[in-house]
């Protein structure tokens, strides 16, 4: 039985037809290109993500190309986007698809790809294959909460079920891609987190938040994440035009990326010769604020460092995947 399109959905689709953003991955049905865009856009603004998507597609136009790249190459291309686990998952998933011999085309199979959850699987499935699945993200939460007047916290167990069911209820079976992208664009450009454009909103007359004056109060979200501060000290150890770096292991930030020696890696006598370049350099991550002291140490003889350190030509540092913080510190030299 065909689902009757709701007033909410009808207005949204009409708005999207006239106001939808022209994004490069919307000009293709290639599931690889769509999947790549969705992974890049996790925790990333569209403006920044678009440049990265174009670079990835230019360098690795097919999933086979990406699978054949090394993890270091992928991390280097990802530099500046943060959340580097996404890059590692991207690489792993590419190899999963090559092993499978095709791009998975059901929601359950798409979710088996490394780094793909409910939202991303629904987005890829609906856009690439026309699967009737609502891709519920922050835009959905905001638009639905305001329009229908929902004060259940979006990140509570009850809220997750409620919003998922409501989003699915209004999804038109014949246009799941347009519906998901319409809500995404509507939330990003019209029903924005701050200063939504209610005066020119096509849903204003029937919007509960507008009627009750609660636009700034919805959606409701439980505060569960505490931002932590962390202190770091890095040493730019240089000897005869070569510098020391090592790849960070698992269990800490920047897994798989390259950084400089820290205080515990050097002997006290070497640290005493180092020159302070910048103190309390502040760098903000999503759940951490990092304060870093940065030193240079020029040595005629290479200091004794742990066995996982390698020495590279100073000019070759950009050939290695490094965190954004390290890139900023290098600029201070």
Distance CA 90, CA 92 (A): 6
Distance CA 230, CA 226 (A): 13
pLDDT of residue 333: 87
- Same domain for 193 and 241, yes or no, is no
- Same domain for 168 and 76, yes or no, is yes
Q: What is the CATH number of the domain that holds 309?
A: 3.90.79.10
Per-residue pLDDT of the chain (333 residues; tens, 9 = 90+): 456 679 999 999 999 999 999 999 999 999 999 999 999 999 899 999 999 999 999 999 999 999 999 999 999 999 989 889 999 999 999 999 999 999 999 999 999 999 999 999 999 999 999 999 999 999 999 999 999 999 999 999 999 999 999 999 999 999 999 999 999 999 999 999 999 999 999 999 999 999 999 999 999 999 877 889 999 999 999 999 999 999 999 888 999 999 999 999 999 999 999 999 999 999 998 788 999 999 999 999 999 999 999 999 999 998 999 999 999 999 998
Q: Which residues contact 264 (CB under 8 A, 6 or more apart)?
A: none
- Same domain for 136 and 263, yes or no, is no
* Structure-token pair, residue 8: 């909410």
- Kindly state whether residue 219 falls inside one of the protein's structural domains: no
Q: Residue 250's domain spans which residues?
A: 228-332
- Same domain for 309 and 193, yes or no, is no
Q: Which residues contact 203 (CB under 8 A, 6 or more apart)?
A: 8, 11, 12, 147
- Kindly state whether residue 205 falls inside one of the protein's structural domains: yes
pLDDT of residue 314: 95
> How many other C-beta atoms lie within 10 A of the C-beta of residue 294?
25
Told to judge if 314 belongs to the known catalytic residues of this protein, a careful annotator would answer no
Q: What is the number of alpha carbons within 13 Å of residue 92 lying toward its C-beta?
A: 11
Q: Which residues contact 79 (CB under 8 A, 6 or more apart)?
A: 321, 322, 323, 324, 327
Cβ atoms of residues 290 and 232 within 8 Å: yes
- Helices and strands: H and E segment counts in the chain: 14, 6
Domain boundary among 212, 243, 268: 212
Domain count, the chain: 2
Q: What is the CATH number of the domain that holds 19?
A: 1.10.340.30
* Structure-token pair, residue 179: 């519906």
- Same domain for 31 and 152, yes or no, is yes
pLDDT of residue 3: 63
Give which of 266, 209, 263 is closest to 234, Cα–Cα: 263
Cβ atoms of residues 84 and 254 within 8 Å: yes
Cβ atoms of residues 130 and 177 within 8 Å: yes
**Set 10, 38, 71, 314: catalytic member:** 38
How many degrees, rounded to 5, is the angle at CA 90 between CA 84 and CA 91? 100
How many degrees, rounded to 5, is the angle at CA 282 between CA 280 and CA 286? 145
């Amino acid at each position: 039985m065909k689902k009757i399109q709701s007033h909410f959905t009808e207005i949204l689709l009409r708005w999207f037809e006239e106001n939808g953003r022209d994004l490069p991955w919307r000009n293709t049905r290639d599931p690889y290109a769509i999947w790549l865009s969705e992974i890049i856009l996790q925790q990333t603004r569209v403006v920044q993500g678009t440049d990265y998507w174009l670079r990835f597609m230019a360098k690795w136009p097919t999933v086979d190309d990406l699978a054949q790249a090394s993890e270091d190459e992928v991390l280097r291309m990802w530099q500046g986007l943060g959340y580097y686990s996404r890059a590692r998952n991207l690489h792993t998933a590419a190899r999963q698809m090559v092993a499978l011999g095709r791009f998975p085309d059901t929601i359950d199979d798409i979710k088996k790809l490394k780094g793909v959850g409910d939202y991303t699987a629904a987005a890829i499935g609906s856009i690439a294959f026309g699967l009737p699945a609502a891709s519920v993200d922050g835009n959905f939460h905001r638009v639905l909460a305001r329009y229908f007047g929902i004060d259940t916290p979006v990140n509570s167990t009850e809220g997750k079920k409620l919003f998922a069911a409501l989003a699915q209820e209004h999804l038109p079976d014949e246009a799941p891609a347009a519906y998901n992208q319409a809500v995404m664009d509507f939330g990003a450009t019209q029903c924005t987190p701050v200063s939504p454009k209610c005066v020119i909103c096509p849903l204003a007359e029937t919007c509960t938040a507008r009627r009750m004056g609660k636009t700034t109060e919805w959606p409701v979200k439980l505060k569960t994440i505490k931002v932590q501060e962390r202190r770091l000290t890095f040493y730019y150890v240089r000897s005869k035009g070569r510098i020391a770096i090592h790849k960070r292991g698992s269990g800490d930030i920047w897994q798989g990326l390259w950084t400089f020696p820290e205080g515990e890696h050097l002997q006290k006598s070497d640290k005493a010769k180092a020159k302070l370049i910048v103190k309390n350099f502040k760098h903000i991550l999503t759940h951490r604020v990092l304060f870093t002291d940065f030193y240079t140490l020029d040595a005629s003889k290479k200091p004794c460092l742990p066995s996982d350190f390698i020495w590279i030509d100073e000019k070759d540092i950009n050939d290695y995947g490094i965190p954004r913080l390290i890139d900023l510190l290098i600029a201070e030299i």
